[in-house]
Amino acid sequence: MEKQEYLDLYREMVVIRRLEERAAELYQQGKIGGFLHLYIGQEAVCAGIGSVRQPQDRIITAYRDHGWAISAGMDPKVVMAELLGKKDGCSMGKGGSMHMADTSLNFWGGHAIVGAHIPIATGLALGDHYQENDDAITICMFGDGATNIGFFHEGLNLSKVWNLPVLWVCENNQYGMGTAVERASAVSEIRQKAEGYGMPNDRIDGMDVMNVREQVARVMEEIRNGGGPHLLEIMTYRYRGHSMGDPERYRNKEEVKKWEDEDPIGVFRKYLVKEGVASDEVLDEQDDLAEKIIEEAVEFAEASPNPGKDLLFEHIYAEETSIEYRGYRLENESEEN
């Protein structure tokens, strides 16, 4: 990598970190509603994978998706606007935190139902296989919790039966909501489940972005060479609760502290300084720049207008179709006009 690429990667991780921290504050101020699932602590995973994926590779993930939105190449302004439910958000305020997407960047969201996107990922790869986009890989992220649901089984099985180019990535942050992995999964290492499908699998450390890059690039090469689907279990940790409002009764402070000592941003900083790629001062500048980017994103989002009433009824169908019922108020309103 060139020096600038390192700095960009570092800054991307800080941008994600600041985005999440700022989102938490906005949530507590009541400006973000619904659920908010923070990616803090897991930045190395999305930044690492994002930095080695090719444009033709498709990314699809679950609801802890803000980091993935950034790593897929989305503008923090548009992400922040979506969090605030504004019209300039990537989903025009109609999706919210769990539904970030930009198909022009080959980023297919952002999905709320645990595991439901897994068979869809199988389908994305099926589409590439069918249309002979032989270079394309579908990269599907899901958490440790999702590996116990039926969708996981059906999606992975079919991907192997049809030999589809899918990189199945389990971001194992040790907890499915409030349930530790060992209380929910029959096997202690998620990657073992792939054995049941005869699928190649690995387990790697996800707190070191350079390690993630290297390992993922290797596995992707195999898939691109026709190796079929591969399950990659990436060990990581989320420093905050499952979502805002999680009282975190299921783990103690010492455990969180232990993982915080391996903060991926801190780990990467140490690496860059040690390797002489950049000094602390230069990295501090990147921190400031990230801070500025996020502040601008918040300003942009707050200045963005709310989606209007008309947007309520748009995008239900792709084709021009009559609305069956606009609700009592709006139905009567239109009769008066």
Binding site for other proteins (CB under 8 A): 25, 27-30, 33-36, 58, 90-92, 94-95, 99, 101-103, 108-111, 113, 116, 118-128, 130-131, 138, 150-151, 154-155, 157-158, 161-162, 244-245, 247, 249, 311, 314-319, 321-322, 324
Closest listed residue to residue 219, CA positions, set 204, 232, 234, 208: 232
| Nearest to other proteins of 24, 273 (CB atom) | 24
Distance between CA atoms of 56 and 172, rounded to whole angstroms? Answer: 26
| Nearest to other proteins of 101, 234 (CB atom) | 101
| Nearest to other proteins of 166, 278 (CB atom) | 166
Q: How far is the CB of 164 from other proteins (least distance, A)?
A: 9
Distance between CA atoms of 90 and 329, rounded to whole angstroms? Answer: 29
Distance between CA atoms of 301 and 93, rounded to whole angstroms? Answer: 11
Distance between CA atoms of 46 and 85, rounded to whole angstroms? Answer: 24
In terms of C-beta density within 10 A (0-12 exposed, 13-18 middle, 19 or more buried), how is residue 256 classed? middle
Non-local CB neighbours of 215 within 8 Å, separated by 6+ positions: 202, 204, 232
Q: How far is the CB of 5 from other proteins (least distance, A)?
A: 29
| Nearest to other proteins of 165, 206 (CB atom) | 165
Q: How far is the CB of 277 from other proteins (least distance, A)?
A: 28
> Sign of torsion, CA 180 191 113 51?
positive
Q: How far is the CB of 216 from other proteins (least distance, A)?
A: 21
Q: How far is the CB of 335 from other proteins (least distance, A)?
A: 12
Phi and psi of 200, rounded to 5°?
A: -60, 145
| Nearest to other proteins of 14, 278 (CB atom) | 14
Q: How far is the CB of 288 from other proteins (least distance, A)?
A: 16
Q: How far is the CB of 233 from other proteins (least distance, A)?
A: 21
| Nearest to other proteins of 145, 155 (CB atom) | 155
Q: How far is the CB of 317 from other proteins (least distance, A)?
A: 5
| Nearest to other proteins of 130, 183 (CB atom) | 130
Helix, strand, coil shares of the chain as percentages rounded to 5?
Answer: 50, 10, 40
Q: What is the distance of C-alpha 5 from the center of its chain? A: 21
> Is residue 327 a contact partner of residue 115, using CB atoms and an 8 Å limit?
no
| Nearest to other proteins of 161, 303 (CB atom) | 161
Ranges of beta strands (E only) in the chain are 58-60, 138-143, 166-172, 175-176, 179-180, 201-205, 230-235
Q: Are strands 179-180 and 175-176 parallel, antiparallel or unpaired?
A: antiparallel
